[in-house]
Structure 1
Amino acid sequence: MANFQTHLSVGAVASIAIAGGGHYAELYGITTAVLCAIVGTLGSLLPDIDLEHSKPASQGFFAVSLIVSTLITILYANRYSADQLVLDALILWATAFLVLRFGLFELFSRLTTHRGMVHSAPYMAVFALALVSGVFYGLKLTAFVSWAFGAMLFIGAMVHLLLDEIYSVNAFGLKLKKSFGTALKFFETDKLIQYACLYAVLAVLFYIAPPYQDFWRGLVRVAKLF
């Protein structure tokens, strides 16, 4: 599998390129483009949330928690203005950081096995759709921007999984390592019930997500440019 630094570097380059392409195609402004690049980069680290004892992963998720909580605070501050804004923003930042780092990431690291269900396309799609609904209903962003964030998170995660699969191939000996097929997957025959539940959650999240039509039309318009 690729190491942490490789995932971070490749994920950042891919995310910046895709987010920059969206800005060039006039899908969104520069601020959204920057945020999309950050979200995509964070997504490229997300599949390793199931690593429990990796020091790079621990440092990475500390940074992820720090960045995400800061982004949430910035988005909050841009939408509200009040006498208590600074205090409210600081409380929000601290709460978001603690929940992410010592709640969400710690819980997943303890309950999951590396290269288990977390290393799968539907699992990453669940995270992406949760983000879509979270920023739409929680931060009151537009449906278009919400779907853009979710798409970038998913793309970043797919870059991670593809890298792991590429590193599972011994190019010099033209052989597949034992780890091949354990990174990017859509189901496992020995976990059919678990995957059925996962896809059910995915369907529910898609149902409650904001309308996707504007975002889809934007993608179609960009595709026609090429």
Structure 2
Amino acid sequence: MIKEGRVVAMGNFRQHVGFASFLGVLYAWGGAVVMGVHWMYGSVAALLATVGGLLPDLDSDSSIQLRGFSGLLGILAAVAVWQDIDDSPVEVPFELHLWSAIVTYVLVRHGLRRTLSRLTVHRGMSHSVPAALIWGAVTYIGYPAESHLLRVLMACAVILGFLSHLLLDEWCSVDLVGRRVNKAFGTALKFSSKSASATLVTYVILAMLGWWVVHFWPADPFSGGFPKPEFHWLETPETHSLHTW
């Protein structure tokens, strides 16, 4: 991208959000048309693709993505912890639910941001193709659904959004009018970095998560198709009487 005669080496926040969300909506629409994915799952996939478009810039200490996404991730983590406790066979009091959610939010919101700012460098291995696969594996493992295809759908949505960020950064590193390439070209869509230790750690993490994904992978991955959402609460007698009243 060219701005006032200068070459901008990367897309800005709005461009990344817009591009990732556009691809996410297109991905959800394609899933609905080709594979019959329910609109509710498609909307979540589009959202995850948009979130995935913000992930590469979490290695920037001052980025809007890091400040905003760590808060969003804190909320999602708190909701996930609440749901896990609620689904446990042991009855847990409300107060423990509440404190577990609050502690989870604080740890993710502030602890994650400070940890990432200390351990990562901008345009490092967290801004690479292997990192996209890592986030996809994390989504597949952590998405709360029994359906294998549904978890694959969400994992691919995150990978799509992540790669959209890398592609946009590479595109903005090329000046087609001046027929030149910015020095930042090749630092986004990459498989390794100048740091051998960072590259090694990234691939070790990817290998561990890959083994975990293989462990969950079913023998017949395409059996059953995509599930339809079940709204059991609509079928309860209490709700039915409330609506009729």
TM over 0.5: yes
Identity across aligned pairs (percent)? 28
The change in CA–CA distance for 1:216 and 1:36 in structure 2 (over 3 A counts) is: farther
Contact 2:74/2:106 (<8 A) preserved: no
* 1:20 and 2:29 are equivalent in the alignment: yes
The change in CA–CA distance for 1:205 and 1:101 in structure 2 (over 3 A counts) is: same
* 1:201 and 2:205 are equivalent in the alignment: yes
Find the partner of 1:38 among 35, 38, 47: 47
In the alignment, which residue of structure 2 is the partner of 1:223?
Answer: none
The change in CA–CA distance for 1:90 and 1:5 in structure 2 (over 3 A counts) is: farther
In the alignment, which residue of structure 1 is the partner of 2:221?
Answer: 214
In the alignment, which residue of structure 2 is the partner of 1:192?
Answer: 196
Q: Unpaired segments of 5 or more residues in structure 2?
A: 1-9, 226-245
Query: How far did 1:83 drift?
Result: 7.8
In the alignment, which residue of structure 2 is the partner of 1:126?
Answer: 134
Query: How far did 1:211 drift?
Result: 0.9
Cα distance in structure 2, aligned partners of 1:71 and 1:22:
26
Q: How does 1:96-115 map to 2 (within 5 A)?
A: 96-115=104-123
Number of residue equivalences = 214
The change in CA–CA distance for 1:170 and 1:200 in structure 2 (over 3 A counts) is: same
Find the partner of 1:166 among 152, 162, 171: 171
Amino acid aligned to 1:143: H
The change in CA–CA distance for 1:35 and 1:70 in structure 2 (over 3 A counts) is: farther
Cα distance in structure 2, aligned partners of 1:34 and 1:118:
26
* 1:151 and 2:156 are equivalent in the alignment: yes
- Structure 1 residues 95-136: Cα deviation after superposition (integer angstroms, max 9, x where no partner): 44323221223311221110011111102211221221122x
Query: How far did 1:187 drift?
Result: 1.3
Q: Unpaired segments of 5 or more residues in structure 1?
A: 219-226
Amino acid aligned to 1:60: G
Contact 1:77/1:85 (<8 A) preserved: no
Amino acid aligned to 2:133: A
The change in CA–CA distance for 1:101 and 1:87 in structure 2 (over 3 A counts) is: same
In the alignment, which residue of structure 2 is the partner of 1:221?
Answer: none
The change in CA–CA distance for 1:217 and 1:206 in structure 2 (over 3 A counts) is: farther
**SS of the residue 1:194 aligns to:** helix
In the alignment, which residue of structure 2 is the partner of 1:72?
Answer: 80
RMSD of the alignment, in Å?
3.1
In the alignment, which residue of structure 1 is the partner of 2:13?
Answer: 4
Pick the structure with greater CA Rg. 2
* 1:179 and 2:194 are equivalent in the alignment: no
